[in-house]
Structure 1
Amino acid sequence: MIQTEPYTALAEIYDCVMRDVPYKKWAKYVIKLIQKFCPNAEQIFEFACGTGTMLALLRKHGFVADGMDYSKAMINKAREKLRGEDVKLFVGDMSDFKIGEKYDVVLCLYDSVNYLSDIVKFHGLFKSAWDLLYDWGIFIFDVSTEYNSVQNASLMNVSGWCSEVKYKRRSYYLKSERVHINEFEIELNGVVYFEKHVQRIYKISEIEDVVKGSDFFEIVGCFDGFSFIKGSEWSERVHFVLKKKES
């Protein structure tokens, strides 16, 4: 068994493994948030864009949508998916990222911010998003909560096949460390690869405090799931909408 970095071997079968994720529902909700908080938005940048599924959906809705991901393998898949599109794709670290372009909206979805290993890294994330946004811009991201990990970790223990690729996923939550682990075993061309994905579970209040203590954003929305109801620790997922503070 060969251990690899997260989203290296998984990139080969990511879209298959995540085929039950309601991407179209997610896109519709994100667009509703944009219409409410930045109604004239045309240009979107997505952190942790993965294989580009959300970028493709947003482009179908008429937005200019570019993105980046930490994983080169995932970006390569996004380039394949978006071939022929006038799209800009980058490999980089969302907690330290700057390209000199400006957008109306920055996104970071699918609990990707939970991959930030320490609450201090949120300052870097907010700086990266702030640099990408016009003065009227907004930053939308979501977090997975401890309630979600406690209630649903065991439901993510699955195994199966994606075409001719065999995989197994083991999911568990270390409550004392507030860390959610996803382990993947992926058999590609007779070789078994192992990936360990570590997500830190933050309290909603921790994130709120970091935003309030920064010079970059103010919170204009904190919503439960895919709703406009206020999010809490009893939500499985919380979507934040931050508005850029003027420079």
Structure 2
Amino acid sequence: MNYSILAGYYDRLVKDDEASAHWCAYTKKRIQGDKILELACGSGEITLRLAKLGYRMTALDLSDDMILKAKEKDVDDLIAYHVGDMRDLSGYEVYDGILCFCDSINYLSSMNELRKMFLDVHGHLTNGASFLFDMHTEARLIEFEEPFIEEGWIDDTGYQWAIESDNPRIIHHFRFYQNDATVLSETHVQTVFPLDEVVEALTDIGFKVVVTSDFEEEEDAGAEKYFIHAIKE
């Protein structure tokens, strides 16, 4: 997924300190041990918070632009950052926990890709270790049948963020209006996966699966996200 344009505006669009704190608390409650790999780490907001809590963090993202943004924040060089694809973990070590937050897993395009990733993750976890991720519920497809449009300003740059659904896809259109009248645009496509198929794939590979929703302690199909806690058995 290309973030060459969005990387420059990403934190100003989506940074949420409260949500990042929730993600850290969610992780601390479920990860035993201190060696963590974060997949699709983006600009490194959650990564850096966890590193400052004492976790030994390795993080990767497919976008070299996002990794550059993440490295800029890590002034104490606490984190081992890599440009890499979460579908291929060859060469990485074995970890006490693997994370993939902020609906990043929905950037995979098929259940076959998802199964391959799950198998790779399973092979890079110690026994009893946890894989934590979240993903869109099917309710999001209904929500965006009527397109959502957010418009505003980032400093002197106007922007538009439009979201629409085309089952099973959620499509994000970003436009940034420059002072010289040029428009920078980027489109991101996510896939919404049926929960039962995801749980079945994880179970078949050898995970015990616990499903909750939106930082709550129970599953809710009407929520925005499913939170998946997959434990390697």
Normalised by the length of structure 2, the TM-score is 0.90
The answer on 1:127 being equivalent to 2:115 is: no
Q: Decide whether the 8 Å contact of 1:43 with 1:103 is kept in 2.
A: yes
Alpha-carbon offset, residue 211 of structure 1: 1.4
Mark the CA change 1:115 to 1:82 in structure 2 (over 3 Å): closer, same or farther.
same
Match of 1:207 in 2: 198
- Map 1:1-247 to 2 at 5 A: 6-20=2-16, 22-34=19-31, 38=32, 41-151=33-143, 156-174=148-166, 177-187=167-177, 190=180, 191-214=182-205, 217-229=206-218, 231-245=219-233
**Alignment root-mean-square deviation, CA:** 2.0
Shift of the 69–153 alpha-carbon distance from structure 1 to 2, 3 Å rule, reads farther
The C-alpha deviation readout for 1:96-131, integer Å capped at 9, x for no partner, is: 222232210000001111111001111221133123
Inter-partner Cα distance in structure 2 for 1:153 and 1:114: 18
1:86 is paired with a residue of what secondary structure? coil
Mean alpha-carbon deviation: is it higher for 73-82 or for 148-157? 148-157
Contact 1:171 1:183 (C-alpha < 8 Å) held by counterparts: yes
Q: Give CA deviations for 1:175-215 in whole Å, capped at 9, x if unaligned.
A: xx31111100124574422111111111111101211232x
Q: Is the 8 Å Cα contact of residues 208 and 232 (structure 2) preserved in structure 1?
A: no
Of stretches 106-115 and 24-33 in structure 1, the one that deviates more from structure 2 is 24-33
**Structure 1 Cα separation of the partners of residues 65 and 95 of structure 2:** 25
Mapped contact 1:219–1:240 kept (Cα < 8 A): no
How many aligned positions are there? 231
Contact 1:187 1:193 in 2 (8 A): yes
2: CA distance between counterparts of 1:77 and 1:165?
19
Letter in 2 for 1:224: S
Give the TM-score, by structure 1 length. 0.86
Rounded to whole Å, the distance in 1 between the matches of 2:144 and 2:185 is: 22
Instruction: Say if 1:26 and 1:100 are closer, same or farther in 2 by CA, change over 3 A.
Output: closer
**CA 44–86 in structure 1, closer or farther in 2 if over 3 Å, else same:** same
SS at match of 1:105: strand
- Residues of 2 paired with 1:153 and 1:162: CA distance? 27
Matched-pair contact (CA < 8 Å) for 1:203–1:233: no
Separation in 1, partners of 2:157, 2:80: 30
CA contact (8 A) 1:95 1:123 kept: no
Aligned-residue offset at 1:78:
0.5
| 3-state secondary structure, aligned to 2:2 | coil
Task: Say whether the 8 Å CA contact 2:159–2:174 is kept in structure 1.
Answer: yes
